[in-house]
Amino acid sequence: MKIAIIGAGSVGTNLHHAFALKGVRTELVHGRPLTDEKTSREAIEQLPQADVYIYAIADHALRAVVETVYAPKAVHLLTSGTMPMDVFGEDKPHCGVLYFFQSFSREVLIDDWSGIPCFISGRNIDDIAAIYSLAQMLTSRIYEANQHDRERLHVAGVFANNFSNLMYRMAADILSDTQIPFQALLPLIDQTALKVHSLTPKEAQTGPAKRDDKNVMAHHMEVLKESVPNSAFSPDEKAEVYALISRLIQK
């Protein structure tokens, strides 16, 4: 089976690496030229003939890239958490979704995919079976998910991953005028993440807002408003976030 991965960004590079570790050769095609109309013809001529095309392309450029690929007998797969399968149109009857639910980066390639959940879907039962077999090369945690569920999973991931990472950035910002390194927070971060393996997020919630400790929260607001003004986040922004999230925890 010949596999072509279109897009050499974070997802594409990690997929290429993961398959290679399993002894599965894939062709990694840089997707950027495909988004440029002037070079799309040249780029499409360089695409390898494959049985499976995996599109690891940003959502905003996906339709333009898909339109340049003509391979009606191949299986065409999205890696997106939001895009619908109808992006493939009628000229690609064998298509589906291969959505690995993880945060990827080119700087840190993931070696062990066995614990990464993969959410799949396809236009028919045969395509689903083929996609399942492909996912099984990397992980055993495979689930079928329709468009409705996949969209909500993606939003949930933004809250659990992207938004929490912004909180880490704000925490680092708050410590920027102290002698305390951000690394001092890592045991706390790790323990918080570990707790939700055995407790629900609601059960794991702690802190002054959970305790309704108004004196501590008021003091925190004063500290934030006196924080470094020339940092990535203004004192008012940090205080606003603190107040909003505290109210939601109390609610």
- Summarize pLDDT for 106-147 with one digit per residue, the tens: 999 999 999 999 999 999 999 999 999 999 999 999 999 999
According to the model, what pLDDT value does residue 32 have? 54
Q: If 0-12 CB within 10 Å is exposed, 13-18 middle and 19+ buried, where does residue 174 land?
A: buried
14-23, 159-168, 224-233: which range is least confident on average?
Answer: 224-233
Residues 6+ apart with CB under 8 A from 1: 51, 52
pLDDT digits (tens, 9 = 90+) for 35-49: 454 444 455 457 889
67-78 average pLDDT score: 93
According to the model, what pLDDT value does residue 231 have? 78
Q: Looking at this protein, which amino acid is placed at residue 37? A: E
Query: Distance between the two ends of the chain, CA-based, in angstroms?
Result: 53
Average per-residue pLDDT in the chain? 91
Percent of the chain past pLDDT 70, that is, above it, reads 93
According to the model, what pLDDT value does residue 39 have? 46
The model's confidence at residue 4, banded by pLDDT at 50, 70 and 90, is: very high
According to the model, what pLDDT value does residue 48 have? 85
Give the CB-side neighbour count of residue 39, counting CA atoms within 13 A. Answer: 10
How many degrees, rounded to 5, is the angle at CA 219 between CA 160 and CA 190?
30
31-40, 55-64, 173-182: which range is least confident on average?
Answer: 31-40
The model's confidence at residue 232, banded by pLDDT at 50, 70 and 90, is: confident
